[in-house]
Amino acid sequence: MMRASALLLLAAITVVGLTSSAGASSTSESLWSRGLAALQKGDGVRALALLDRALEADPKDGRARFYRGMARRSVGDLAGAAEDFRAVAAADHGGDPIAARAAEELERTLAASAPDRATQSEPTARETQAASRFSLRASAALEYDSNIELAPDDASVRALYGIDEDHDGRVAMRARAGYVLYHSPLMEVVAAYEPEQSVHFSVEESDLQVHRASLAMTGAHSALSWGGLGSYDFQLVDEKEFLSEVVLSPWLSWAQGHGASLALAYRFALRDFCRQPFGSLLDGNLQSVALIESFDLGSQGSRLDVGYRFDRVNTDHTDGASLENNAHTIAAAVLWMLPWGLEADAAYAWRDSDYDDASLGRDDSEHRVRVGVARGLGSLLRLRVAQEAYFHGSDRQSFQYQRYVTSAVLEARY
């Protein structure tokens, strides 16, 4: 049975909450905001490229220089990080506490670099530039899924479909290699390859392998930023061809100031299933429009995201007409920085799917809840533990189910 579509992704983690730097230009603010978002996601290489551009736009922007120091430290450039923190700590920022924060981070950076200072040589400019263009991350997750097949709650319906085992554990491995093909103060182009593999312990015919190639472009001017993503997915189940999918997704974001931003995104996915009966039922396209408002809550890096998404599912064949539907999703997510380096997040989404007349009036409604805690383990590793719950209701017994997924993920970034 096909998996339900993914949750509206609404997540950002603020590293440190500071008031706006005096004199910062809107172009610089837009760029460092995007750099901070990349840093929050653990992508220090991309963050560094964006923060370099922010400082090109406004060399006096203290916040951009502070966050570049954080990004430099995240990729192991302790000397560069110390240089940025020292410059911010020595400058006058009109009462902004950023100078004090920079002094604290400078002490930490110098303490971390002291043992290696005598044995390490400084990288050349060419080596630093090449390293800043390349990023690599990989993760291994141990997960327990209470309902892999999305089996209905009703026992008689489960027996009708012959479902006798629907819960299992699995190991999921993911990786991403990215390279910045081009970047300037106005635009950046990144190519990436992302493989995934899941292996279940007991349930058969559920091991998923994904190969994804993508090309992303981003740009910014003043308070506006924009971009687009194009990707191709090739999926295999138990090493047999299953799905080919092409995705195009442009987006536009407006930095409203004081840590708030508004984003509008469109997504078009063209799906071609390689197996029957999936092909005759599900070949087609999915179109989505999402509106997301983000707020910096200003307390120890906390952030709130709220959003709405509309989805339209179209199928190519008559057999799949009963699966065509319009769906509305409302979601919210909050992230909070805790003591001891912990990051807590929680999210809720409600989705209502109204199927076309060919379904004879089918109507589904789903509630999804996610809670998680993460902590960095040094500069390269991060551990996250999470619990997700799905409560899927429908006016058809065959589509009423509950699902719980528990996961522990260890991620490495370079």
Residue 4 lies in a domain: no
The total number of structural domains in the chain stands at 2
* Residues 262-275 as b or e (16 or more Cβ within 10 Å = b): ebebebebebebbe
Statement to judge: residues 173 and 224 lie in one domain: yes
Average pLDDT over residues 174-199: 89
Q: Residue type for 42, please?
A: G
- Above 90 in pLDDT, residue 338? no
Q: pLDDT confidence of 194, banded at 50, 70, 90?
A: very high
Residue 107 lies in a domain: yes
* Residues 234-248 as b or e (16 or more Cβ within 10 Å = b): ebbbeeeebbebebe
Statement to judge: residues 118 and 136 lie in one domain: no
Residue 327 lies in a domain: yes
Residue 17 lies in a domain: no
pLDDT of residue 162: 66
Statement to judge: residues 227 and 260 lie in one domain: yes
Task: Mark which of 77, 94, 122 sits at the end of a domain.
Answer: 122
Higher pLDDT, 34 or 392: 392
Task: Mark which of 69, 103, 122 sits at the end of a domain.
Answer: 122
Percent of the chain past pLDDT 90, that is, above it, reads 39
Statement to judge: residues 369 and 239 lie in one domain: yes
- Above 60 in pLDDT, residue 195? yes
Give residue-wise pLDDT tens across range 40-51. 767 777 788 888
Statement to judge: residues 360 and 389 lie in one domain: yes
Structural domain boundaries, residue 155: 131-413
Statement to judge: residues 78 and 152 lie in one domain: no
Q: Residue 117 and residue 115: Cα distance in Å, rounded?
A: 6
Higher pLDDT, 7 or 207: 207
Statement to judge: residues 385 and 247 lie in one domain: yes
- Above 80 in pLDDT, residue 361? yes
Statement to judge: residues 84 and 194 lie in one domain: no
Q: Residue 229 and residue 218: Cα distance in Å, rounded?
A: 9
Q: What is the CATH number of the domain that holds 271?
A: 2.40.160.40
Higher pLDDT, 7 or 171: 171
Average pLDDT over residues 290-313: 86
- Comparing 11-25, 53-67, 311-325, 395-409, the range with the smallest average pLDDT is 11-25
Q: Residue 80 and residue 64: Cα distance in Å, rounded?
A: 14
Average pLDDT over residues 220-230: 85
Give residue-wise pLDDT tens across range 100-131. 777 778 887 777 666 544 444 444 444 444 44
pLDDT of residue 211: 96
The Cα angle at residue 59 between residues 186 and 254, in degrees rounded to 5: 45
Statement to judge: residues 89 and 201 lie in one domain: no
Taking all residues of the chain, what is their mean pLDDT, rounded to a whole number?
A: 81
Statement to judge: residues 219 and 333 lie in one domain: yes
Residue 20 lies in a domain: no
Q: What is the CATH number of the domain that holds 62?
A: 1.25.40.10
pLDDT of residue 17: 37
Residue 309 lies in a domain: yes
pLDDT of residue 92: 60
pLDDT of residue 402: 93
- Comparing 87-101, 187-201, 241-255, 389-403, the range with the smallest average pLDDT is 87-101
For residues 333 and 40, the answer to whether their CB atoms sit within 8 Å is no
Closest to 166 (Cα-Cα) out of 147, 185, 181, 184: 147
In three state form, how does the secondary structure of the chain look?
CCCCCCCCCCCCCCCCCCCCCCCCCHHHHHHHHHHHHHHHCCCHHHHHHHHHHHHHHCCCCHHHHHHHHHHHHHCCCHHHHHHHHHHHHHCCCCCCCHHHHHHHHHHHHHHHHHHHCCCCCCCCHHHHHHHHHEEEEEEEEEEEECCCCCCCCCHHHHHHHCCCCCCEEEEEEEEEEEEEEEECCCEEEEEEEEEEEEEECCCCCCCEEEEEEEEEEEEEECCEEEEEEEEEEEEEECCEEEEEEEEEEEEEEEEEECCEEEEEEEEEEEEEECCCCHHHHHCEEEEEEEEEEEEECCCCCCEEEEEEEEEEEEECCHHHHHHCEEEEEEEEEEEEECHHHEEEEEEEEEEEEEECHHHCCCEEEEEEEEEEEEEEECCCEEEEEEEEEEEEEECCHHHCEEEEEEEEEEEEEC
Q: What are the residues whose beta carbons fall under 8 Å from the beta carbon of 159, sequence distance 6 or more?
A: none
Give residue-wise pLDDT tens across range 240-297. 999 999 999 999 988 887 778 899 999 999 999 998 888 898 999 999 999 999 887 7
Q: pLDDT confidence of 170, banded at 50, 70, 90?
A: very high
Q: Residue 78 and residue 400: Cα distance in Å, rounded?
A: 54
Average pLDDT over residues 152-167: 71
Residue 191 lies in a domain: yes
Q: pLDDT confidence of 180, banded at 50, 70, 90?
A: confident
Residue 7 lies in a domain: no
Task: Mark which of 122, 145, 172 sits at the end of a domain.
Answer: 122
pLDDT of residue 210: 95
Average pLDDT over residues 135-154: 87
- Above 70 in pLDDT, residue 300? no
Statement to judge: residues 97 and 149 lie in one domain: no
Percent of the chain past pLDDT 70, that is, above it, reads 83
Statement to judge: residues 278 and 385 lie in one domain: yes
pTM above 0.85, yes or no: no
